[in-house]
Amino acid sequence: MTRRKSIHIGEFKHANPIPNACRIGNLLMSGVILGRDAAGKMPEKIEDQCANMFGHMKAIVQAGGGTTSDIIKMTVWLQDRTQRAPVNVEWLKMFPDEHSRPARHALQMDMENGALVQCDFTAVIG
């Protein structure tokens, strides 16, 4: 049995030969998560990209054996850092308890192929 376990979810795959996340012990770290829909299309609106991104995040942590309560840190990259409101909408849906939210950091970054937002996360499962 290998110590490291690659985590894959459905058809949401990276363009390169890497998993959606990796788990060693109780630590799960995702790769980059984009806001593409289930068919692989990038929605034009940041609101739709955010909804998809958070949905993928939930599916990844569950495929790794955890829940969204296990997420300890999230990093978000935005095409326009002033566009955090759509991220916050999904953030509050996923983490409604202000006393039990992961740390989060938002950065601005040029993105390609219509991406307006992307993230990665770390979870401690157990």
- Tens of pLDDT along the chain (126 residues) come to 679 999 999 876 677 789 999 999 999 999 999 999 988 899 999 999 999 999 999 999 999 999 999 999 999 999 999 999 999 999 999 999 999 999 999 999 999 999 999 999 999 998
Q: What SS3 class is residue 49? A: helix
Question: b vs e for 107-120, b when ≥16 Cβ sit within 10 Å of the residue's Cβ?
Answer: eeeeeeeebbbbbb
- Rounded CA separation 8/69 (Å): 20
Is the Cα dihedral 43, 82, 15, 53 positive or negative? negative
- Rounded CA separation 66/60 (Å): 9
pTM over cut 0.85: yes
